[in-house]
Structure 1
Amino acid sequence: MRKGTLISVAAVVAMTFIVSACNSLTSNNEQSLHAGETPDPSGTKGEPILLTLRHTQVKDTQKKRFAMLQDVVKATESKVPGLSITLDGVEDKVNRFEKLRAEMAAGNPPEIFDLFGGTDTKDYVKAGRLLDLTPILNELGLINKFYSFEEFTVNGKIYGIPMAGYVEGLYYNKRILADHQIKPPQTWEELLAAAAILKAQKITPFAMAAKDSWVINMMSNTMWVRTAGPDSVQGLLDGSKRWTDPDVVDAFEKYHTLIQKGYLQEGSLALAYAEQQNKFSSGEAAFMFDGSWANTPLLDPEKSSIVKDVGFMSFPAMGGLGDGYINGGWSNAYGFSKKVTPNQLVAIKEFIRQMYNESMQKRQLVEEGMPPAMKLQDTSNVNPLITEILNVFASSKGAFPAFDSRIQTKVREKLERGMQELIGGRTDPSTLMADIQKQQEASNKEETHTK
């Protein structure tokens, strides 16, 4: 079951980063992965092999990540005679919800592309668009080197290789809290009390950018899992749970409290995601709910004034079944088109060798603070903030995937619009949950008819 699997994964992470008793990638395995050049697939040296690689490292804050990808591409091209890889950069939301969907519908995705797990992967497998990677991972000796393929496994076959892990939680400004004699809040009541003190001192309690609706639902997702439990999303899908259940509505009522008391960043509906990070990194807000991927700009002295003051913690307990669970896992991966030639397949295998190994995963961890997807032998020289992030993951009761990796598209879209309306004062939690439940029932019914 998903809950049990993720709990066991969290335990493995704990062993890796706290007890340091992880399964290791041995140097012999590393050497064997890279030993020798890839044989020419066609028997003709230099025969052109063309691949397009769709990536999402297009933001200014992702320059280091993009540089690592470029290095992987160069190494791959050097190993495969005649290979040329074209890098196609697309913003992640545009890639996931627009461009890749259109390409999948038309049957012409790039050979390599950024792939989201869960529902996205299942839909593309059903359409016959994704390459089964199970035999390749076995051939390359990688099948047991990863923490989890769960988000990319359909009917026992693996269709995506996670690039890195993530965990969502509460960033906080240590100096602001210390200056106002506030300890990092461990409960919802403590969080509200801290927000009240901060607002009275004209300090924004929560950095928040609500123009990009998915940003709102990071924190609300964690809040309703806190109150309703880690299995709530599965319950919504199978009908055993309802958005109108008191323990679900409770989370949205509490979120509404933050709105009504003015604890969220002013004018958030007009602000794009980057403005949330700017508000926090400038030292103007005490808290920011975000993912581990946000650490890069926060630790950049050219972009952040709080490099030495930023901390990371799990969201406070709310008195529900989900206290202690975190939104985390391995939901972003590289996927590969099923329509590749034998020559392209050889090149893809070499790309996998170059991308997924001890040195590259360690480089991602040290330079970008990206929790590894693979079990590392060495986790030294990591920034203290990254250690805090890894410890949140490791010390959790378990992990649950982001709701939008499992919930139906129409439900997600309705919730996103509804949360913007909640912030704008155009609806209330009870009305919103009733509307979402109607869409949930319609989407569940539609899925039942199409199976």
Structure 2
Amino acid sequence: MKKTKSALSLAMVMAMAATSVACGSGGDTKTASSSTAPASTAPAASVKPAETAKPKEFKMVLRHIEIKDTAKSNLAILQDVVKATEAEVPGLKFELDGVEDVVNRDTKLKAEMQAGSPPPIFDLFGGADTQNYSKAGRLLDLTPILAELGLKDKFMNLNEFTVDGKIYGLPRAGYVEGVFYNKKMFADAGVQVPKTWDEFLKVCEAIKAKGITPIAMAGGAGDGWVINMLANTLFVRLGGPQIQEGFAAGKTKWTDAPVVEAFKKLEELKQKGYIDKNVIATKYSDGQAKFYTGQAAMLFDGSWAAGGIMGKNSTVAADASFFNFPNLGGAGDDMINGGWSNGYGFSSKLNDSELKAVKAFIKNFYTEANQKRALKESGNIPAMKLADIGDASGLVAEVVKGQLSAKKGAFPAFDALVSPAVKKTLEGTMEELMGGKVTPQKAAEKMQAAQDAK
């Protein structure tokens, strides 16, 4: 602010001070009015310069899912971004709300969306979730913001967050799903990375003969989605991505032959003792731990698991590698389950100060440096286009190689294409299949009934 000329009256100085306070109190505060005061005879030199008002503090909840030990690196990146954004936006104070992934998606966020009161910033799943919430008017349209920030063409793929040509969410990272394996256990059993289903079964049998669980897996206590990952890969391998693309439209059915055959193969792995016998009583984190503590030779999981496998509690970091699931002779061979589904969404109900904070958060979080850091430290597949992968090496590099080995590209997770209710039904149904409570055919019929109900 320029210095006040000596000819200004005290009344004018007071009026300017009042205006300064009103302007400095935040983007949503109205400018205070002032009435005309009698002229003062006090000398202008005795008037002290108006002090700059302290910015009005405002708080914003930021809902995230980086709560597990294996997510500490991701959390550190988020915390650094929070600090940078708070320093950039006067008065801003974030409140980090860490919630378990499934609880956030299926319970808390769903209830908040129904009530019309989601947090300003929150973890959002692409596909059906984004479509439903955007059509309900709950999500902020990010299309003009990305153009303003110069980020419009910086992402690998925004399809799962795009509805009717508008973008409603931004992926934090991509993912691929495949098989992490212990190279030393493979060598000791005299087997190599399998390329076909028959070769895969032989690998499992040789590992089992060594007294080692071939495949670590979880599926109990609400973690049926872990089994879904392998089931998804199996039925797309056999039927191609079109099998799941047609579920919602009725062009294909869960009772079609490729799905039933996939369920049969999953059952076969369990019956032969190749999948952990305690699968339906095992939590996700415990299933991961069985692999990275050397109790199993393989783990079917997403690329996000690399952080735990390379973490301080791992005993197999030096021996861990990754391969794309073997081909089954179907239309989905040479593909990989992968995409950009998990990210951040933003409430459509933001005031001016909150909108400014959201723009700063997006600018600070979505950078090439952060993407490379997440790749190196957590094995996160970049969501943004990078010139190179920096100094990422070891298991992370192997995961990227596994992605590149999928010559036909990636297909999205099935739950990005069906309703949350159908997704939930498959979780329970796969737990029943692994527990021997339903046959593959009955499992398929149960799934189609759930699909028909939508």
Query: Is the TM value for this pair above 0.5?
Result: yes
Q: What is the TM-score of this pair, normalised by structure 2?
A: 0.87
The aligned counterpart of 1:85 is 94
The aligned counterpart of 2:110 is 101
Tell me if structure 2 keeps the 8 A contact 1:328–1:400. yes
What SS is found at the alignment partner of 2:247? helix
The aligned counterpart of 2:323 is 313
The aligned counterpart of 1:438 is 449
The aligned counterpart of 1:341 is 351
Match of residue 189, structure 2, among 165, 180, 202? 180
The aligned counterpart of 2:421 is 410
The aligned counterpart of 2:36 is none
Using the TM superposition, give the Cα deviation of residue 45 of structure 1 relative to its aligned residue in structure 2, in angstroms: 5.3
Tell me if structure 1 keeps the 8 A contact 2:241–2:332. yes
What SS is found at the alignment partner of 2:177? strand
Identify the range of structure 1 (387-396 vs 137-146) with the bigger mean alpha-carbon deviation. Answer: 387-396
Using the TM superposition, give the Cα deviation of residue 304 of structure 1 relative to its aligned residue in structure 2, in angstroms: 0.7
Structure 2 unmatched runs, 5+: 1-25, 30-52
Matched residue type, 2:250 = G
Matched residue type, 1:416 = E
Identify the range of structure 1 (108-117 vs 55-64) with the bigger mean alpha-carbon deviation. Answer: 55-64
Match of residue 288, structure 1, among 291, 299, 307? 299
Q: Which has the higher contact order (CA 8 A, sep 6+)?
A: 1
How much identity, in percent, do the aligned residues show?
Answer: 51
Matched residue type, 1:170 = V
Using the TM superposition, give the Cα deviation of residue 435 of structure 1 relative to its aligned residue in structure 2, in angstroms: 1.8
Using the TM superposition, give the Cα deviation of residue 222 of structure 1 relative to its aligned residue in structure 2, in angstroms: 0.4
Tell me if structure 1 keeps the 8 A contact 2:270–2:277. no
Alignment of 1:315-330 (within 5 A): 315-330=325-340
Matched residue type, 1:82 = G
The aligned counterpart of 1:366 is 376
The aligned counterpart of 1:69 is 78
Using the TM superposition, give the Cα deviation of residue 442 of structure 1 relative to its aligned residue in structure 2, in angstroms: 2.4
Matched residue type, 2:364 = Q
Tell me if structure 1 keeps the 8 A contact 2:260–2:444. yes
Tell me if structure 1 keeps the 8 A contact 2:338–2:413. yes
Match of residue 56, structure 2, among 25, 43, 47? 47
Check if 1:206 corresponds to 2:215: yes
Matched residue type, 1:329 = G
What SS is found at the alignment partner of 1:104? helix
Tell me if structure 2 keeps the 8 A contact 1:41–1:346. no
Change (3 A) 1:407 1:272: same
Match of residue 245, structure 2, among 234, 237, 249? 234
Match of residue 156, structure 1, among 136, 143, 165? 165
The aligned counterpart of 1:264 is 275
Q: What is the TM-score of this pair, normalised by structure 1?
A: 0.87
Matched residue type, 1:224 = F
Change (3 A) 1:45 1:132: farther
Tell me if structure 1 keeps the 8 A contact 2:207–2:214. yes
Matched residue type, 2:288 = Q
What SS is found at the alignment partner of 2:400? helix
Q: What per-residue deviation string (whole Å, max 9, x for no partner) do you get for residues 289-342 of structure 1?
A: 000000001011x21111111111100001100011111111011100000001
Change (3 A) 1:305 1:229: same
Tell me if structure 2 keeps the 8 A contact 1:147–1:373. yes
Match of residue 385, structure 1, among 390, 395, 405? 395
Tell me if structure 2 keeps the 8 A contact 1:230–1:325. no
CA distance in 2, matches of 1:81, 1:239: 52
Identify the range of structure 1 (406-415 vs 48-57) with the bigger mean alpha-carbon deviation. Answer: 406-415
Matched residue type, 1:347 = A
CA distance in 2, matches of 1:410, 1:369: 30
Matched residue type, 1:158 = I
Q: CA RMSD in A?
A: 1.5
What SS is found at the alignment partner of 2:436? coil
Q: What per-residue deviation string (whole Å, max 9, x for no partner) do you get for residues 403-441 of structure 1?
A: 112212232222211111111111110111122112222
**How many aligned positions are there?**
404
Check if 1:353 corresponds to 2:363: yes
Which one has a larger percent helix, Structure 1 or Structure 2?
1
Q: Which has the larger radius of gyration?
A: 2
The aligned counterpart of 1:447 is none
Identify the range of structure 1 (245-254 vs 303-312) with the bigger mean alpha-carbon deviation. Answer: 245-254
Q: What per-residue deviation string (whole Å, max 9, x for no partner) do you get for residues 103-128 of structure 1?
A: 11111111000000000001101111
What SS is found at the alignment partner of 1:317? coil
Tell me if structure 1 keeps the 8 A contact 2:372–2:390. no
CA distance in 1, matches of 2:368, 2:258: 43
Tell me if structure 2 keeps the 8 A contact 1:171–1:287. yes
What SS is found at the alignment partner of 1:70? helix
The aligned counterpart of 1:297 is 308
CA distance in 2, matches of 1:273, 1:439: 25
